[in-house]
Structure formats: C-alpha cells, structure tokens
Structure 1
Amino acid sequence: MMMEQKTEVALPDIQKDNLPKTTRSAVLNKVFDISLEQTPLPAMKPTDVLVKIVAVGICGSDVHYYDTGHIGDFVVKKPLILGHESSGIVVATGDDVQNLKRGDRVAIEPGVPCGHCSYCRSGRYNLCPNMQFMATPPVNGDLSELIVYPQDFLFPIPDDMSYEIATLNEPFSVSIHAAQLLGIKPGSSVFISGGGPVGLLAILAARTFGAHQIIVSDTQDLRLQTAKKMGADRVINALKEDPRKVIAEMTNGEGVDFVLEASGNPKAEQAALRTLKRGGKLAYIGVPTTDAVPLDIPFMTDHETQVFGIFRYANTYPLGLEILEKHMGLAENLLTDFYPLSQTKDALEKTRTDKGESLKVVIYPNEQLRHN
C-alpha cells in the first residue's frame, strides 16, 4: 500500500538575519566509525539557500567509504559527512534567490560544477574536473540537519510526492542518463544486469523511453521480485540460470539491442557484453572493486559494439521528478528501511550486510516521518 504522500514538516524558527553557524551531522571519522557532531555551516551567499534536510537515501558509494575508506582515487583522509540522495524544505534564502521561498519542498542535485570549463559550457557538466559532489572526498555530504546550498541545484518537489520518493531522483538520474546516452527507443529490447536501486530504476527509465522487452538479472530474490513489480518482462536468477543462454533463447540467438550493466561485478560485466546483438550498445554503470576488467575486444569489433561509461548525470533532475510523479506507486517498492540520524551506523550496516532483504535505506536527519 502506498504511504500518504505529502507529509508536513515543521519549519525551524530561524530568522534570515540570525542564521545558525553549526548543525548536527553524522560524520565518518574513519572506516566503520560514525559519530554525531556539531559541524560548521558556511556563510550563505546571495544565491544560496538554507535547507532543512528531511530524507537521505543511502547509496552504495556511502557504504564503500564507510567500510573501505576509498573508491578508486577518492580517499577519505579526514572526517567526512556522507549522504547525497536527498530532499528537504527551504528554511531561508539569500537576497538574490528568485525561484524559491521559505517552505518550498525540494530535491537536491548533489553535484555543483564550476560552470566555466569546456565540459560545463557544452552541457556535460557531470564531467567537470572541478565538480564539488556531495560525500565524495573531500566534499561533505548532507547527512545533516541543515545545509547551505546553491539555488540552481534545488528542484521543487511535486505536491503529491513524498520526501522519500524524491530522494530516489538521484539514483534514477543515473538510469535516465544511461538511457539517454544509449538512445533507447520504442520497440527495443533491453537487458539490465544487476537489480540494485539503480538497476531497478533503469526498468522505469527503459520503459519510459519505449523499450518493448526488458530483462533483468540478479542473484537476490527480493530484487528479482521487485523487478517484476517495476515492469520487467523476464527476470533471471544468475545463480540458477545463465543470462546469456536465456537471452539467446528469447531473441532467437540475436541478442538484445541495449544492455545496462549495473552490478559492478567483473564477471557480470564481461558476460553482459555477449548478450548484445550485432551493432548493440552497452552502458557500464556499476563500478567494479577491481582496478580493471578485461573485455572481449574481438567480439566488440566483430559486432561493432558501442560501449558507454556512465559517470553520474547531467540535466536530468526535472525529467526524473516528472517521471517519478507518474509512477510513485512503483517507486514506493524500493523504499524498505528507515532510520533516524542517530542510527546512521545501523543504517549503513543494514545496506552493507542485508542485500537479500533491503533495497533503499532512508535516513531522517531531523524528525522521522515514517516508521517500519
């Protein structure tokens, strides 16, 4: 059953001429060490907004920093506030803020690019080398009661959408970006390898862009069951069936038009390539834990395969909210676990250790709106 969507959130009694200088945050001090601390709030610029964070979804990257202290070249060298899938309510606005006011409900795009480099000017700001992305060292995230943030990366939430569903717009944006780069079109076939939150939301993205046949593989029954609810035409338990054989049988040996590899498992990344038809396109979304993954270059040249690496997203937030609003009942299936800020460590452990029973874990930095 769907939850009641729009939940009232109390606005703190904060005056524009007397803004707080600190806020309570969940801080990663070192691997497996989370503490609640008073952390500094930056001074607001004229185009900044003070936001009370209502809900934050936990991402796999948060867990990687929590249990290993690094992802690739990004290393936690000093205390870091995690969290980047978030929504909240506007508390105060800078003098030059035009489109937002106190009390507005917003989804927060967690990356702020420089706006000046060639990538930003061409619209591919996700590739900005000076990107300030939440919870990517050394940039703090938003597992905090309050944050100061630029107005340009705050997007109004539809009135009938919950704060929890609004947090899904961040992982959904990754799926939308992948679908756009691949050029998924009406009548096409799509294989999604990996049924975590991004893979499950990729079902919604693929269907929105017109895919006719969607196949999803994973090793966890909960994820496969949820994939069916989200609209997958066929699900494959990779522990019991070989996705390559199943897809070959389903496509008369030709393969699928598009693949979205969202598991980050090196073996799955290699196998997904061979499910493509000649001239097919593949997007690698999941990040493997190894430094490099060998790929079958002879297969790629013989099949004229097009391969895309997916790095975050650009210009997707308004579209993502529009699509999610039309499918809130489906999106609700991903929300499984809910914690207050004081239990951030428990929330990270839940995400890290319980992939069989948990999909998207939500943390409430202020009052908890929903309970198990």
Structure 2
Amino acid sequence: MNASVLIAPGEIALQRREVPIPAADEVLVEVTAVGICGSDAHYFHHGRIGPHIVNGPLILGHEAAGRIVAVGSEVSADRIGARVSIEPQRPDPTSSQSRAGRYNLCPHMEFFGTPPIDGALCEYVTIQSSFAHAVPDEISDEAAALFEPLSVGIAAVQKAHVTGGSRVLIAGAGPVGLVTAQVARAFGATEVIVSDIDAQRASAALQFGATRAIDPRTESVRDLMVDSFVDASGAPRAVVDGIAAVAPAGHVVLVGMGADEIALPVSLIQNRELVLTGVFRYANTWPIARDLVLSNKVNLDAMVTARFALDDVAKALVADRVPGSIKAVVRVEPSVLPKESR
C-alpha cells in the first residue's frame, strides 16, 4: 500500500508499506479521509510534542474514516463493507483507568500517529472492531473522519457541565474551538462567546455555534461572569483571563496545548470555588458525535476548507497557515487490495 511517512522534521515521503493484517479482534479499514490536526503539523515542523519524540519514520494522522474490507477471526464477517469512523486508540482493557471507564487515561495507550504508533495517512489501517464505529450513509466520509476532533469538543463540554441556559466562554476559534462552540449550543447553552485574535476565525465562529465573537486584544473577557470557560487556544494570557471570567462555582476546562507551566490566579480559584480540569482525548463519545451530526446540531462538512491527496500531505500539513483555513482533509484513494489480505 501507499503511505505518507514523516522521515524527519519538515520531510514527508510517499512510501510503499505492507498492508497490515488484522489481529483476531481487529478489522482492516480501507481509509477514505483523514483530517489534519494541529498535533500532526507540530510533529511535522518540530518532530516532537512534549515527551513524545519522533525517533524514526512515522505515519501521521488520527482523524480517519473508511470502509471495512477484512476482519480478524473473532469478528463477524457481516462487518465487511461497513463504512466506519475510527476511534484511533487502543487502551489496555486491564489497566485500572480502563476498568474505571476512563480508557482515554490508560497508561499503556497506543494512539494513532503518536510515536512510535503509526497513524492513518495511508491506504489501510487496522483497529479493534469496537473502535471502528459504523456510520450511516447520510454522513460523509469527511464528516466521519472529523468525529475525532468533535469528540474532543464533546469531552470538553461534558467536563464544563454545560446545560440548558449555560453561558460559555471559549478561547480559540480553531477547529476544536469551533466544534466545542457547536456542541455547547447543542447541549443547551444560550450564550456562547468565542474569543480569538484572528479576525477571520472569530468571524467564522459566528457560523459555528457562537452567539458572540470578540477580539481579546480590544475587548476584555474578564467581566463576563460566565458559567463555564473552555480554553482551546493554549495561550497563557487566554487561560488566565478566561479563569477570571468565570462566575463562582463555575467550571474551567483546559484543552489547548500551550506552555507546560503558567502562573494561575490561585486565590481567585479558591475564593470562587472554581472547578479546574483538563481534557485528554475522550472516552465513549463516538455515539454522541454520530447523533449530533445526524440531527444537524453540528456541521462538520462546512469546516473543511482544503482537500489534498495522499501524495500531497506536506502541503496539507501547512494548510493551517493559509488565511481563512479551518480544516484540511486528505482524501485517500486506495489501490487494489491484495487478494491475500481479503
């Protein structure tokens, strides 16, 4: 099969790789669409994210959809032909976190596109059958691939305790900020304020769930007194100002990846009894994502602003630098599957 491989920071090559063979509990998925995430771009530019270092050739990509073309011995052959959205993780089911239902926090997690685990920017991937979620024909391949960032937004809104009538502040109008805004509205928030220093992105937020968009350089958020604040920017100033904008007993959820350490207003957090937490991936969100898209509460297709082929991944990884860009997607056109893999 063809695979787009990160060879070194800034260097992508199209290589031939063996088609993977599904283990007993796995399915083989013919990939059709892969969304480009900011983490993919970070690995491409810098070769690492925190402790995760690219030490050898790596296939990026964890936002993926496709069609099941083969199954392992423990999986029903009835699944062959099903269109699926891939939940790109393999936790250890025996770990204490998995057993507690928090499999996203499993210390032995194998996650697509995170060194040394290869991702989905290739023609075929294997995944455990239970993590290949069936999608109906009403949902496009591109939207099915974007269930992954949508799941981050769902996890954030759940942790923010958003409910009917909530007032929510979201910092950052990138893809995660925009899906979070849509999910917040779907969960009943009546006011969703999105802040971003990029005027085009702030304007786009009004098309994706925001009731108000502001430039934090010219308009302070600190007096908003919202019920919940979700940071999808990773910017230290946005985090601190966002915390100050939360009313007593409110919730603060940190999603954006930025500085490893920042100074927080501890006395304010204490005096207002704010609940501050983070989001690390997701658990049990794919059924919710499917229903939100099917009910038109969330529009993922409209977020796709650029499409690339598998041999043009290097361009896809810098597409976020184009003004007005929201989400780039790589469309994969698989070659003929070898008979021995069927």
Question: What TM-score do you get using the length of structure 2 for normalisation?
Answer: 0.94
Task: Extract structure 1 runs of 4+ deviating beyond 6 A.
Answer: none
- 1:234 matched residue in structure 2: 212
Q: CA deviation at 1:329?
A: 7.3
Query: 1:268 aligned to 2:238?
Result: yes
Question: What TM-score do you get using the length of structure 1 for normalisation?
Answer: 0.87
- 1:258 matched residue in structure 2: 228
Matches within 5 A, 1:322-341: 322-327=291-296, 330-341=299-310
**1:190 maps to amino acid:** V
Query: Of residues 19, 41, 44 in structure 2, which corresponds to 1:66?
Result: 44
Q: Distance in 1 between matches of 2:298 and 2:127?
A: 30
Q: Distance in 2 between matches of 1:120 and 1:361?
A: 32
Q: Distance in 2 between matches of 1:300 and 1:329?
A: 32
**2:233 maps to amino acid:** S
Q: CA deviation at 1:185?
A: 1.4
The secondary structure found in structure 1 opposite 2:206 is: helix
Q: Distance in 2 between matches of 1:227 and 1:326?
A: 20
The secondary structure found in structure 1 opposite 2:300 is: helix
- 2:339 matched residue in structure 1: none
- 1:5 matched residue in structure 2: none
Q: CA deviation at 1:98?
A: 2.9
Structure 2 residue ranges without an equivalent (≥5): 335-342
Q: CA deviation at 1:242?
A: 2.4
Query: 1:311 aligned to 2:280?
Result: yes
Pair 1:299–1:169, CA change in 2 (3 A): same
Q: CA deviation at 1:326?
A: 1.6
- 1:295 matched residue in structure 2: 264
Matches within 5 A, 1:172-187: 172-187=150-165
**2:27 maps to amino acid:** V
Pair 1:237–1:333, CA change in 2 (3 A): farther
Q: CA deviation at 1:328?
A: 7.2
Q: Deviations over 1:42-99 (max 9, x none)?
A: 4322222111100000000001100011111101111110000010011112232138
**1:262 maps to amino acid:** A
Pair 1:183–1:99, CA change in 2 (3 A): farther
Query: 1:170 aligned to 2:148?
Result: yes
Q: Deviations over 1:110-130 (max 9, x none)?
A: 011011111001100000000
Structure 1 residue ranges without an equivalent (≥5): 1-22, 368-372
Pair 1:100–1:30, CA change in 2 (3 A): farther
Query: 1:106 aligned to 2:84?
Result: yes
Pair 1:34–1:315, CA change in 2 (3 A): same
Is the 2:193–2:210 Cα contact (8 Å) retained in structure 1?
A: yes
Q: Deviations over 1:305-325 (max 9, x none)?
A: 110111000010111111012
Mean Cα deviation higher: 98-107 or 334-343: 98-107
Q: CA deviation at 1:210?
A: 1.3
Q: Deviations over 1:328-369 (max 9, x none)?
A: 773222110000001000111212x22x321000001216xx
Matches within 5 A, 1:111-122: 111-122=89-100
Q: Distance in 2 between matches of 1:46 and 1:291?
A: 40
**1:93 maps to amino acid:** V
Q: Distance in 2 between matches of 1:169 and 1:277?
A: 31
- 1:357 matched residue in structure 2: 324
Q: Distance in 1 between matches of 2:107 and 2:311?
A: 34
Is the 1:192–1:261 Cα contact (8 Å) retained in structure 2?
A: yes
Q: Distance in 2 between matches of 1:238 and 1:277?
A: 18
Query: 1:366 aligned to 2:336?
Result: no
Is the 2:20–2:124 Cα contact (8 Å) retained in structure 1?
A: no
Is the 1:229–1:330 Cα contact (8 Å) retained in structure 2?
A: no
Is the 1:85–1:108 Cα contact (8 Å) retained in structure 2?
A: yes
- 1:11 matched residue in structure 2: none
Pair 1:109–1:329, CA change in 2 (3 A): closer
Is the 1:226–1:333 Cα contact (8 Å) retained in structure 2?
A: no
Q: Distance in 1 between matches of 2:20 and 2:137?
A: 30
The secondary structure found in structure 1 opposite 2:136 is: coil
**1:323 maps to amino acid:** L
**1:321 maps to amino acid:** R
Matches within 5 A, 1:88-103: 88-98=66-76, 100-103=78-81
- 2:337 matched residue in structure 1: none
Q: Distance in 2 between matches of 1:107 and 1:171?
A: 12
CA RMSD of aligned residues (A): 1.6
